[in-house]
Structure 1
Amino acid sequence: MTSADFPDAWYLILSSRLIPDLDGGYTISTLARARQMADAGTQPLLLTVDPGTPEAHAQHRATFVERGAAVASEVFRNLFDDAVGADGGAAEWLRAAATPGEADSAWEYRDVAGGAVSLPNVIDPDWHRTTAPIVIRDATGAPVGGIPGFGALYRAWLTHLGAQLREENPRPLVVICESRQLGELIVGWGDDDVRIIHTIHTIHLEAPYRADSDLNALWTRWFEISPRFDAVLWPTVHQRDDVRERFGDAANDLVAPHAVRAPAEVVAAADRDAGRVVVLGRLAPGKRLPAAVRAFARVVAEVPAARLELWGAGAQRAELESLVAELGLTDAVSLPGLTNDPGAVLDRAAVYLTTSAFEGQGLALAEALAHGTPAVAYDIRYGPRDMLAAGGGILVPDGDQDALVAALVRVLTDADVRERLSTEAVAAAAALSPARAMRTLAAACGEALSHPRRR
């Protein structure tokens, strides 16, 4: 793939934050999109708006480059790094965006950007929608004006960046927005030469995660504004179709799964540990790992050599360790912690197991398929149904422990099944290849640029 596949434009990937080993698959897939675009010949800028220190941001970027998740530190830009001028006060673009105003006495404030900016501490799920003044200060710390809320601040920064880029080359901007909250705040950005492509990372529903379940509160307003984005990229057909049935068709919705890179060589099923089952992800309630451990106790009763590895970190670690001890599974179930090499974990495994209650797509499952690791998964919203439609694993009814145990036992005890599923998994992963993802993204960008902005 070459850069000719992408229209001639500046590409900006906008994220709330990008911090190593934080936010799970969101961070991984956002960085992967940027890396895949770079590999295709189109290098985007990665933009973040978290008010960390320049030193912390530099360390985050260096870690991503060291791990191969980013091509160079220079592809990152952060709003609050850019907020500081040469004299230590607010940068000129920020002063220019400010209007007369002072801090609102109803709020406590905290200084960021070396004291050049003071942010109101809004303790509210809708903090991003506040219009409480953000105070802009000069090098002495004196206020020089205010900006009415985070949305105005973010749009001022994007306008400044756009002006800088257009001085170098006067071409349009394509913003790939990775965050619903940021999408809410920039959808009204009134620049005719900007197109906004909004990606989706997670489920929009509350428990019990049926098509007609209540919307997650963060999504309610988003669905009202979603037709104004120039394109919306859903990670699965299942979720896109659920949304269409509930909210109607939209000319700007596309299915664009998060892509995974295939290894240079797939380890044959016969060369793996025939009893090893792995889970990759956060040790969090939504993954239903206690239920997975209880189910595995039944698997071990039938397959004494079976072993389960729960890779990841999270709030449930202590609870899981206690449960493993309580069930007498300390020789069969382990919690090795985080890994920066999930491919190596998957290459040793006979089975990848996912017992999540919900997903956006399930990036670890996609990785498993690319590595030829057969999967056993509950049929949840969203991800496994789409990714296993062409084979590569066994899909069982959501919450059916009997079916889950039977599927695990079958794969662990039948070498022919493991080999067949491994072959199917590699073929299924072709639908999640970076080349295919970049063709879809390039086409979406081209379509958006061929029409006036929808906002």
Structure 2
Amino acid sequence: MSPHAAPALPDAEYLVLSSRLIPGLDGGYTIATLARARQLASAGVAGGAGPQLLTFDPGTAAAHAEHRQTFVSQGALADPSRMRNLFDEAVAPDGGAAEWLRAVADADAKADPAVEYRVLEDADARPFVSLPVIPGNPDWHLADEPVLIHDAAGEVVGGVRGFRGLYRAWLDHVTASFGDRTIVVICESRQLGELIADWADPRVRIVHPIHTIHLEAPYTADAPINRLWTRWFGIADRFDAVIWPTATQRDDVVARFGTAAQHEVVPNPITPVEARGDLREPGLVVALGRLAPGKRLDHAIRAFLAADVPGARLEIWGGGPEEERLRALIDELGAGDRVVLAGYTNDPARVLDRASLMLTATAFEGQPLGVVEALLHGTPVVSYDVRYGIRDVVGAGGGVLVPGGDVDALAAAVRRVLTEPGLLERLAAAAPGIAAAWSPERSLAALTAVIAAAVARPPRR
């Protein structure tokens, strides 16, 4: 066994729960969720077919089929039949809701006349469920307004208690055939976690990965908690393990909330690459990601221009709501010959292979996937030192960190890396070794240890 090879996973049924998995949406969340499923497949789950990926978004069956095929073509999904959707399976072949859903419908449940309903129809325009619409409420998933169930004639035959009742009915249906086997549920979504935190089936162990930062500005350890997370921390001790992508975030949480919950660290796996050093372009600096306010790309632009390195140029790859504002800033600064909004790329690996340096000015992160990917390609990183994850990676080498929000310091770091003799080369040489800490092998070893410990203990619910 190699030093980082994982022991065997416990013999169990494995389910990965995700609110949605849609190509091109949710960035690192989608990438990390699918990567974890591939990890489990590679470790032999279901004979190599991998866990069942259960999704809960109310799209059409045709859209879900397209999503599966896209993931297969991208190499992100090995067996499309393992990716299932609640609403695909809530339809009876002859119309109306599936039998498993009709069986749990409370005939006394009625539509609230003050609530709007979204009627879902099958491919033949036959209604099967009606979902309550609760606009402007971030806690819509916890509402008790009934989800209405239709029969083959389209008539409402009853309902279940909110989305909690709907989701739990499907999970009970999915797991009904598992007998007395242990069921390992990897819940990738905070909203789903809140809905299954009272799932008291003695077969079930819930392992809950976290993908995002839990803090508000200024994103320090004692900063206000994002209100969407306040309630979640109150139920975190009901999960058999909570896994954080970085030790820094786990340690901040334990220091603030104590050890009542089972907090663990499992780095998200990032597949090794074959870097193309022959594509490297001297002086090319890149920023890669969504053009969103939290990425502070205006800081990156100003820092790059202030560095004033002869022959250097900045390419900003990605799309998003900040595009027009950034374009206006580039025009205002007269920097169109040195700074380019390059648009969305479906080949980020080539961008990183071409780059001499990656620049990030983000205000916060949840997981440092982009930084690790840059280092894998031998591309050093200059970044603000912000929570979470960037310090966990670049703090070990392969780049330079400066205080968050200090544009002058960011500019000085860019100038130093691009002009100090030998520094860029030393950072580039160290980068792949630093990124190896996030290898699939190390990630799987950590995940296996967490699952094995959770299965060995009684369930927490």
The TM tier, using the shorter chain, reads over 0.9
Alignment of 1:41-440 (within 5 A): 41-42=44-45, 43-100=50-107, 101-114=109-122, 115-123=127-135, 124-164=137-177, 166=178, 170-250=180-260, 252-263=262-273, 265-268=274-277, 272-299=280-307, 302-414=308-420, 416-440=422-446
Q: Please report the RMSD computed on the Cα atoms of aligned residues, expressed in angstroms.
A: 1.6
Is the contact between residue 6 and residue 448 of structure 2 (CA under 8 Å) also seen in structure 1? Answer: no
1: CA distance between counterparts of 2:284 and 2:267?
28
The aligned length equals 448
Q: Residue 116 of structure 1: SS of its match in structure 2? A: strand
CA contact under 8 A between 1:308 and 1:332: conserved in structure 2?
yes
Q: Structure 1: which 4+ aligned runs deviate by more than 4 Å?
A: 1-4
1:24-48, CA deviations, whole angstroms, 9 ceiling, x for partnerless residues? 1111111111122222322111111
C-alpha distance in 2, partners of 1:413/1:41? 49
Rounded Cα–Cα distance in structure 2 between residues aligned with 1:211 and 1:251:
18
Query: Is 1:274–1:412's contact at 8 Å kept on the other side of the alignment?
Result: no
8 Å CA contact 2:254–2:263 kept in 1: the answer is no
Paired with 1:383 and 1:408, the residues of 2 have a C-alpha distance of 20
Q: Which runs of 5+ in 2 are unaligned?
A: none
Partners of 1:83 and 1:113 within 8 A in 2? no
Percent sequence identity is 58
1:376-397 deviation digits (Å, cap 9, x = unpaired): 0101011111111220110111
What letter is aligned with 2:255?
A: E
Asked if the contact 2:249/2:388 (under 8 Å) is kept, the reply is yes
Deviation (angstroms), 1:271: 5.9
Q: Is the 8 A contact 1:129 1:150 kept in 2?
A: yes
Structure 2 CA distance for partners of 1:218 and 1:277, relative to 1, 3 Å: same
CA distance in 2, matches of 1:41, 1:367: 26
Describe the shift of the 1:179–1:309 C-alpha distance in structure 2 as closer, same or farther (beyond 3 A).
Answer: same
Kept in 2, the 8 Å contact 1:261–1:370? The answer is no
* 1:423-447 Cα shifts (integer Å, max 9, x gaps): 2211111110011111111111111
Name the aligned partner's letter for residue 33 of structure 2: T
What one-letter code is carried by the residue in structure 2 that aligns with 1:138?
D
What is the CA–CA distance in structure 2 between the aligned matches of 1:160 and 1:365, rounded to whole Å?
41
* Kept after mapping to 1: 8 A contact 2:302/2:407: no
The alignment status of 1:14 with 2:27, answered yes or no, reads no
Give unmatched runs, 5+ long, in structure 1: none
Please tell me the residue identity of whatever aligns with 2:149: I
**How many Å separate the matches in 2 of 1:357 and 1:33?**
26
